[in-house]
């Protein structure tokens, strides 16, 4: 077999070297392009991260400003309205001692009752405004106290229980407020319509899910009648918080309120 001439060998080797050079050059260009693309993406991500941090910082400052304003309103209400209501009650009690007419005494008693209701409403508003109460522990403790005070002059006996509730778990102000308003509505309905003598208030936490359950042993709800405003309002409040309200009728009425923390 004849060997290739030297000129052809040299040409062949040169062609191979040129191909290897171009191949290496193409690989180098691709690597450099990928590196630049990677640096560009990292830089873009860094800028986006800085932008997100700036937005988060602004949101935190906004929240701090809102909390500061809430605390200011809370203090003003406590100092001004609280003092005004106390003075009103004091004057009414003084007038009642001096009054001789029974009708006037009855009117003063109504005034005292109204001032006490105003005082309770103010306390609820102060509790709602105070950001230090944005925990499950604060919510459950206040709800139990409210239910006890609401039912203590009725024939309904109250029992309460908490299951796996971590007191320090945070809950938003809106969630806390709407759950409490649902509790008030449920207690009022039980007192007015249930004809029950027992009511159980339960709180259950399952990691990031929180449930409040209110059960009575009354006559239940008549499904043949149109749904009342109270129940519609409770369902609406839970829907606004991306939560859930459910009603079951079995040996009484059972209301379930669920939210994601």
Element (H, E) at 253: strand 253-260
Q: Are 105 and 93 in contact (CB under 8 A)?
A: no
Residue 72 backbone class (left: φ over 0; alpha: ψ -120 to 50; beta: rest): alpha
3-state secondary structure of 207: coil
Q: Quick check: 110 pLDDT over 90?
A: no
Mean pLDDT of the 181-195 span? 92
How far apart, in whole angstroms, are the C-alpha atoms of residue 100 and residue 16?
123
- Tokens 């449930």: give the residue: 211
Cα Rg, the chain, nearest whole Å: 35
Pairing of strands 244-249, 198-206: unpaired
pLDDT computed for residue 176 by the predictor: 92
Where does the pLDDT of residue 227 fall: very low under 50, low under 70, confident under 90, or very high at 90 and above?
low
For residues 203 and 163, is the Cβ–Cβ distance under 8 A? Answer: yes
Taking residues 187-216, what's their average pLDDT? 94
What's phi and psi for 220, nearest 5 deg?
A: 85, -175
CB 186 within 8 A of CB 199: no
Predicted TM-score of the model (pTM): 0.65
Query: Sheet containing 209-216: which strands, arranged edge to edge?
Result: 157-163, 198-206, 209-216, 253-260, 244-249
Q: Given the structure tokens 């009103």, which residue do they identify? A: 88
pLDDT in tens, 11-69: 777 788 888 888 888 888 888 888 888 888 888 888 888 888 888 888 878 777 777 77
Looking at residue 124, what is its pLDDT? 83
Among 212, 216, 214, smallest CA distance to 155 is for 216
pLDDT at site 215: 96
Q: Which of 146, 147, 164 is nearest to 156 (CA)?
A: 147
DSSP β-bridge partners for residue 245: 257
């Amino acid at each position: 077999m004849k060997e290739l001439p030297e000129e052809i060998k040299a040409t062949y080797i040169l062609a191979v070297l040129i191909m290897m050079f171009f191949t290496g050059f193409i690989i180098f260009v691709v690597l450099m392009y990928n590196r630049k693309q990677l640096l560009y993406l990292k830089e873009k991500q860094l800028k986006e991260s800085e932008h997100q941090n700036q937005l988060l910082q602004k949101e935190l400052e906004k929240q701090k400003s809102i909390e500061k304003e809430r605390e200011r309103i809370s203090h003003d209400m406590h100092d001004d309205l609280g003092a005004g209501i106390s003075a009103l009650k004091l004057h009414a009690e003084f007038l009642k001692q001096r009054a001789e007419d029974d009708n006037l005494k009855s009117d003063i008693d109504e005034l005292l009752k109204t001032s006490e209701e105003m005082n309770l409403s103010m306390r609820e508003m102060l509790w709602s405004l105070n950001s230090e109460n944005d925990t499950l522990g604060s919510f459950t403790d206040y709800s139990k106290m409210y239910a006890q005070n609401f039912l203590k002059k009725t024939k309904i006996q109250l029992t309460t229980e908490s299951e796996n509730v971590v007191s320090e778990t945070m809950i938003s102000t809106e969630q806390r407020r709407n759950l409490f308003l649902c509790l008030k509505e449920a207690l009022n309905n039980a007192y007015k319509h249930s004809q029950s003598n027992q009511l159980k208030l339960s709180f259950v936490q399952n990691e990031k899910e929180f449930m409040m359950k209110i059960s009575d042993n009354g006559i239940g709800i008549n499904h043949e009648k149109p749904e009342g405003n109270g129940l519609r309002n409770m369902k609406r409040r839970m829907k606004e918080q991306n939560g859930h309200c459910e009603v079951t009728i079995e040996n009484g009425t059972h209301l379930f309120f669920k939210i994601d923390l």
